[in-house]
């Protein structure tokens, strides 16, 4: 357990502005015999008024979260495939096309969903992926991968072996790393003079707007804003040169970062700073308002599910997401209110959801015996899911969502 009484970025004294109560490992789907040893930590977010980093105070050790049974495979969703295909191609076209024998490094390369494009284009590449099971899949596809945690020390070794990187990139990885200063120091050392770091993560602005508090779980030690990313860059002789909003993960931001003074800075940077300041991202009252909205959302969801249960109707969860662990445990929703959660990931099936212990079953259990209501835990894939679930609705099935508000659709 890593507990921060001071800001993880700038060492300023920080305090939580709310608690979500005791939380298990969000991706820790488990068998019944493991219930008695289940790990919990208190999930308390805080906001640093000096560097503006939104962060968790308590953070379980990385090995508890990213291990050989980490059930996250990027390549499972069709829309995410397309998103990463486009991301990879845009990096190649914007930053590497004009270079002689460029070098690309991805942090948290998962099963190689992005790096396969670099391999196909015969670009020198390296994937750094701590979860061994997914790293193995990438290796089997011929993608150059090492299974380690990236930090300042590893960067020195990588630099010796591969030389400077022209691009480094990461998707849904940076916000997982408690010691972000070590990672940025490593990146600053590894990048070539005009090299670029591109990373994307769930965006604080979307979370505050949509009250999507389920973005907060053990793995997401930070929820970044442009303001907080700028503060990190400043500590490592780097600067934010561009930003691009993304629709993935319910609203993300892609940050482009270069060495200080080596790139032209897009107008998008001053625009996003102005917007974040206007929306109060630097003020604690904004986060206190978010806390009140979370409490309201929790109460409404619990009331709705209780009412449906009283009518003897069946509810099934759709998608055993990491995010659902926060919703279920914070809102105290258990198997009394939800029959089971349907999920297409074999590693999650025939196990129980972390903490709440709701059974997770294969998709066939949903499609062959549809419930009255499907609670959309995978709301970030709403478009893809609604496209394929027209039958469910035609047969009278209804969707329940809680983002951006609790409602029956
Ligand atoms: P994901 O989007 O990665 O969310 P999180 O980061 O919160 O875990 O997870 C989506 C989960 O939903 C994943 O376990 C697969 C599952 N899923 C389905 O069962 N059916 C679907 O149609 C889709 C798109 C996802
Ligand atoms: Zn700080």
Question: What atom in ligand 1 is closest to the CA of residue 377?
Answer: 12
pLDDT of res. 76 = 67
Question: What atom in ligand 1 is closest to the CA of residue 71?
Answer: 14
* Rounded CA separation 47/286 (Å): 10
% of the chain at pLDDT higher than 70: 98
User: What residues flank ligand 1, with Cβ below 6 Å?
Assistant: 76-77, 319-323, 342-345, 363, 378, 380-381, 384-385
Query: Highest-confidence range of 1-5, 67-71, 330-334, by mean pLDDT?
Result: 330-334
Grade residue 73 by pLDDT with cuts at 50, 70 and 90. low
CB 23 within 8 A of CB 42: yes
- Tens of pLDDT, residue by residue over 170-191, are 999 999 999 999 999 999 999 9
* Mean predicted lDDT score pLDDT of the chain: 95
pLDDT of res. 112 = 94
CA nearest neighbour of 111 among 131, 95, 96 = 131
Give the closest ligand to the alpha carbon of residue 361.
Answer: 1
Report in angstroms the alpha-carbon separations of 64 from 2, 22, 39, 50, 301.
Answer: 12, 16, 9, 30, 30
- Tens of pLDDT, residue by residue over 81-123, are 999 999 999 999 999 998 999 999 999 999 999 999 999 999 9
Give the closest ligand to the alpha carbon of residue 50.
Answer: 2
* Rounded CA separation 275/277 (Å): 5
Q: Which of 1-5, 15-19, 124-128, 252-256 has the lowest mean pLDDT?
A: 1-5
Minimal-distance CA residue to ligand 1 atom 1: 321
Q: Which of 347, 378, 379 to mutate to test the pocket of ligand 1 (most atoms within 8 A of CB)?
A: 378
Give the closest ligand to the alpha carbon of residue 14.
Answer: 2
Question: What atom in ligand 1 is closest to the CA of residue 77?
Answer: 24
* Overall average pLDDT of the 190-213 stretch: 98
Q: Which of 97-101, 145-149, 300-304, 373-377 has the lowest mean pLDDT?
A: 97-101
Question: What atom in ligand 1 is closest to the CA of residue 214?
Answer: 7
Minimal-distance CA residue to ligand 1 atom 10: 321
- Tens of pLDDT, residue by residue over 206-261, are 999 999 999 999 999 999 999 999 999 999 999 999 999 999 999 999 999 999 99
């Amino acid at each position: 357990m890593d507990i921060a009484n001071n800001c993880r970025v700038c060492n300023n004294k920080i305090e939580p502005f709310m608690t979500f109560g005791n939380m298990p490992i969000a991706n820790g789907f488990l068998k019944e015999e493991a219930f008695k040893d289940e790990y919990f930590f208190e999930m308390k977010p805080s906001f640093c008024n000096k560097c503006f980093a939104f962060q968790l105070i308590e953070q379980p050790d990385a090995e508890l979260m990213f291990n050989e049974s980490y059930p996250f495979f990027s390549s499972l969703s069709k829309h995410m495939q397309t998103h990463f295909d486009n991301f990879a191609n845009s990096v190649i076209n914007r930053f590497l096309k004009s270079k002689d024998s460029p070098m690309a490094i991805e942090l948290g390369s998962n099963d190689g969903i992005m790096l396969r494009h670099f391999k196909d284009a015969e670009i020198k590449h390296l994937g750094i992926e701590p979860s061994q099971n997914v790293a193995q899949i990438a290796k089997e596809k011929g993608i150059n991968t090492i299974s380690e945690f990236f930090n300042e020390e590893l960067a020195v070794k990588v630099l010796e072996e591969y030389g400077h990187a022209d691009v480094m990139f990461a998707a849904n990885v940076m916000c997982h790393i408690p010691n972000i200063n070590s990672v940025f120091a490593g990146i600053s050392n590894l990048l070539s003079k005009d090299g670029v770091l591109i990373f994307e993560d769930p965006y604080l602005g979307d979370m505050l707007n949509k009250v999507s508090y389920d973005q907060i779980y053990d793995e997401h030690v930070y929820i970044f804003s442009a303001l907080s990313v700028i503060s990190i860059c400043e500590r490592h002789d780097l600067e934010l040169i561009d930003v691009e909003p993304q629709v993935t993960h319910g609203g993300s931001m892609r940050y482009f970062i270069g060495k200080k003074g080596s790139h032209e800075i897009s107008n998008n940077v001053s625009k996003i700073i102005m917007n974040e300041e206007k929306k109060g991202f630097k003020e604690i009252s904004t986060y206190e308002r978010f806390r009140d909205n979370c409490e309201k959302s929790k109460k409404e969801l619990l009331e709705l599910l209780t009412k449906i249960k009283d009518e003897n109707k069946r509810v099934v969860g759709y998608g055993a997401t990491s995010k659902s662990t926060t919703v279920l445990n914070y809102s105290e929703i258990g198997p009394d209110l939800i029959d089971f959660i349907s999920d297409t990931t074999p590693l999650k099936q025939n196990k129980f959801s972390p903490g709440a212990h709701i059974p997770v079953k294969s998709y066939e259990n949903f499609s062959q015996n549809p419930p009255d209501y499907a609670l959309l835990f995978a709301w970030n894939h709403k478009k893809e899911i609604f496209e394929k679930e027209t039958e469910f609705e035609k047969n009278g099935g209804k969707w329940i969502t809680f983002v951006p508000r609790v409602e029956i659709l």
